[in-house]
Amino acid sequence: MMGNDLAIIHPRPSSIVAALYTLRDLNVDVAILHGPPGCSFKHARLLEEDGIHVVTTALDENGFVFGGRDELSSLLEKVNDMFQPKLIGVVGTCASMIIGEELREPVQDANLDVPVIEVEVHAGYPNNTKGVLLALESACDAGIIDPEELERQKFLLEEATNVEKRHGAASREYLEPSRGDVKYKVAQKIINYLKEGKRCLTIMNAKKETGYMFADITVAINEVAAQLGKEDNVINMANVDDSLGLPRVRHHAKSIMNDFREKGVTIHENIGGMDEYPVTGEKVSNIIAEKYSGFDFAVISGVPHAIPMDSMQEMEVISVTNGPRQVIPLREMGHEHVLVEIDLHPKTLGVSNIVESDFGATMREVAKDMLDTEEGV
């Protein structure tokens, strides 16, 4: 541990993986991992499901000692012939960075007529957002994004790191993972509240593609409220501004908003872009204080720990996250119930429409059973 920095000893997202996802958001066609074939295997496979090619220079023990400059240069030429990409990314790994490999020279050796974003990154940074930052800086150098967007992204990254340090996975040395509350019991509670005429806020504050599943929770609550004739008691907020963010992030916001419209869900308050989840909290608090302070309960999905509790002190707060290590911090913030959507990432990569969530499906089934019982079916 250095100085006052907190050493986090539970597994956390990797800077290498963060760089890969950022290259995906910049719409690269091919990402080359310069390192051993097993590095970041799971995420590399997932990103291939999301429409980009991920390949590796497959460094072996000999490469760990003598480097792989020639292998990287040759692979750049090969992927250019195989895939005819419009944009390529090259990402370092712990193995290649420790031996001092630099990426610019092999890219120059390949001399391709295609822009290449080089990200010299390893997994040893305290914050995984370092991988995002390095990818964005290299993209700016290559002319893929402008300096204004780079500065905007830097600000958001800093705020994302602060959110995680305040109430997230970086808030303490070790966090015990948890599956959270039982979903059907919480579904029953929400349905009963709606039947009683209590007023509900849904707040989707989702990170990029995860919004495809968190949006389903908003949809499910609105469907159940409509079945009960209580749709006017639900107000929806969501960060679906499609004018902000990297190209793929804007696409996600537009797709999700289109699905909300098709499903008859009104988003009363658009609280920001899908990369602005760390900074929406103050805006949400102001909106609640001005318009919705008398509401009875709130269901927050996505990154609930970025929303301050000040304006919701009189409400019962239910949150839905995809982080098992997020359960304890959310309960400590005062959230009455915390639910976890397991395996959310694999289910939301490569999709362009809202995906049914476990909690949304549970809400629909519990509501059906309750209504059938009341009708004597």
Q: Which of 127-131, 151-155, 259-263 has the lowest mean pLDDT?
A: 127-131
pLDDT higher than threshold 50 for residue 1? no
Identify the CATH number of the domain defined by range 181-374. 3.40.50
Give the right CATH number for 13-144 from 3.40.50.1980, 3.30.565.10, 3.30.70.360, 3.40.50.11540: 3.40.50.1980
Query: For 273-306, how does the pLDDT look when each residue is reduced to its tens digit (9 = 90+)?
Result: 999 999 999 999 999 999 999 999 999 999 999 9
What pLDDT is recorded for position 263? Answer: 98
Closest CA to 157 of 25, 49, 45: 25
Its pTM stands at 0.90
Label residue 349 exposed, middle or buried (CB < 10 Å: 0-12, 13-18, 19+). buried
Residues with Cβ < 8 Å from 78, sequence gap 6 or more? Answer: none
One-letter amino acid at 13 equals P
What pLDDT is recorded for position 42? Answer: 87
What pLDDT is recorded for position 2? Answer: 42
Give dist(CA 313, CA 318) in Å, integer. 13
Give span(s): CATH 3.40.50.1980, the chain: 13-144
